[in-house]
């Protein structure tokens, strides 16, 4: 049986309504992430929480703020790893790879935010490192984006990033598919 880890990326207070950088449908994504977390705990999967911190002048995830803390819906339990990162790729400059290797992990399930930043970067890195990679897309949140005077709605940003991940990198599925699968 393949050793699996659930990696919860940046499910932090600033991304929720009332936070410094709200992400569309983050509460729904977190509900699905919480279902994945419950399942991982029940089945003995390795659980790794990723927490991003910016600079003191960053618009969100400022060090030492409530907004930079992991949301209570997916709060770490005793013994679960919490990896602090400062870049979109959860492997860069962290001990995530050592944690996964030390546990003999071969497959990772990713969820969190933002689809177009840290989920994309972490998914690509995980695949490049040889992990079978699954993205629970409905447990991920995206934020609207602007470019060239055009505002792209969050739903379209999410689809624009999930589609190439599904085409060439990872198995992109729903939470229900992960849980039933």
pLDDT, tens digit, 9 for 90 and up, residues 130-142: 999 999 999 999 9
Question: How does residue 92 score in pLDDT terms, banded at 50, 70 and 90?
Answer: very high
- Give the pLDDT score at 116: 98
How many other CB atoms sit within 10 Å of the CB of residue 163? Answer: 11
The active-site residue, picked from 34, 83, 108, 118, is 118
- Give the pLDDT score at 23: 98
Instruction: Kindly report the average pLDDT of the chain as a whole number.
Output: 97
Is the pLDDT at 2 greater than 80? The verdict is no
Active site residue 118: yes
Backbone angles phi, psi at 143, to 5 degrees: -115, 145
Q: What is the 3-state secondary structure (H, E, C) of the chain?
A: CCCEEEEEECCEHHHCCCCCCCCECHHHHHHHHHHHHHHHHHHCCEEEEEEECCCCCCCCCCCCCHHHCECHHHCCCCCCEEEEECCCCCCCCCCHHHHHHHCCCCEEEEEEECHHHHHHHHHHHHHHCCCEEEEEEEEEEECCEEECCEEECHHHHHHHHHHHHHHHCCEEECHHHHHHC
- Average pLDDT on 54-77 reads 97
User: Domain coordinates of the chain in residue numbers?
Assistant: 4-174+176-180
**What top-level class would CATH report for the domain 4-174+176-180?**
alpha beta
- Give the pLDDT score at 181: 82
Please give the share of the chain, as a percent, with pLDDT higher than 90.
98
pTM over cut 0.95: yes
Is the pLDDT at 1 greater than 70? The verdict is no
């Amino acid at each position: 049986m393949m050793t699996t880890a659930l990696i919860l990326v940046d499910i932090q207070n600033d991304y929720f309504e009332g936070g410094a950088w709200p992400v569309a449908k983050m509460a729904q994504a977190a509900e699905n992430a919480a279902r994945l977390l419950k399942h991982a705990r029940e089945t003995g999967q390795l659980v790794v929480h990723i927490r991003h911190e910016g600079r003191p002048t960053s618009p969100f995830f400022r060090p030492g703020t409530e907004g930079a803390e992991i949301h209570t819906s997916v709060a770490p339990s005793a013994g679960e790893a919490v990896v602090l990162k400062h870049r979109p790729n959860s492997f860069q400059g962290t001990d995530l790879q050592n944690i996964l290797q030390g546990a003999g992990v071969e497959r990772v399930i990713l969820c969190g935010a933002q689809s177009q930043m840290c989920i994309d970067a972490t998914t690509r890195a995980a695949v490049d490192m040889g992990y079978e990679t699954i993205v629970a897309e409905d447990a991920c949140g995206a934020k609207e984006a602007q470019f060239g005077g055009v505002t792209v709605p969050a739903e379209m940003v999410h689809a624009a990033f999930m589609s190439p991940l599904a085409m060439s990198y990872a198995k992109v599925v729903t939470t229900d598919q992960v849980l039933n699968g």
